[in-house]
Amino acid sequence: MTPMTMMMMRCPVGELRLVASATALVGVYLPVQVGPAPSEVHAGESPLLARVASQLAEYFAGERHSFDVPLAPRGTAFQQLVWDALGAIPYGALRSYGDLARVLGRPSASRAIGAANGKNPISIIVPCHRVIAASGELAGYAGGLAAKRWLIDHEARHEARHEARHEARHETRPATRAELDGASHDGC
């Protein structure tokens, strides 16, 4: 078995357990999630875990919308397929289990997709919190519904701020009197 290192990180949704092999992140576990057995990990730090913690801190500060760390979640081929699809859900967006089933070409597999979603070992970075019930209600989350609600609200707040800043930068403004007076007229 590949040795894994685990580092703890405090954040607004509780204390996260970050778990990595020598080359990739294998888990981000919220306080109520079951992670690897203690015999499978040793406490410590690594450059990779420090990078993950830094990027998560930026995410919680509203400064990061995506992550660029190597991932190696452990799961079945179907789970891997679902987790890859989760990674395509944009920051601040929500999708239903049925939406994911259709994207994956398995429109009747909503329940299986929900089960795979619940087994996602890399919370937040692989954004399983962005998946909701078809009714628009929150549905299961391995990290607890309160954490899911916090993450969704956090992204909505910061996405709205990001859009407002983007619009302000690209907003057209009326011409000033000086600009109008200095403009050439084409006989109009």
Question: From CA 169, how far away is CA 151, in angstroms rounded?
Answer: 27
Residue from 48, 124, 128, 147 carrying the catalytic annotation: 128
Beta bridge partners of 122: 28
128 is catalytic: yes
Which contiguous run of DSSP H or E holds residue 6? strand 4-11
Question: From CA 49, how far away is CA 40, in angstroms rounded?
Answer: 16
Contact 119, 79 (CB under 8 A): yes
Say which residue the tokens 């204390």 belong to: 15
Say which residue the tokens 């994207």 belong to: 103
Q: Which of 107, 100, 94, 173 is nearest to 137 (CA)?
A: 94
Q: Which residues are catalytic?
A: 128
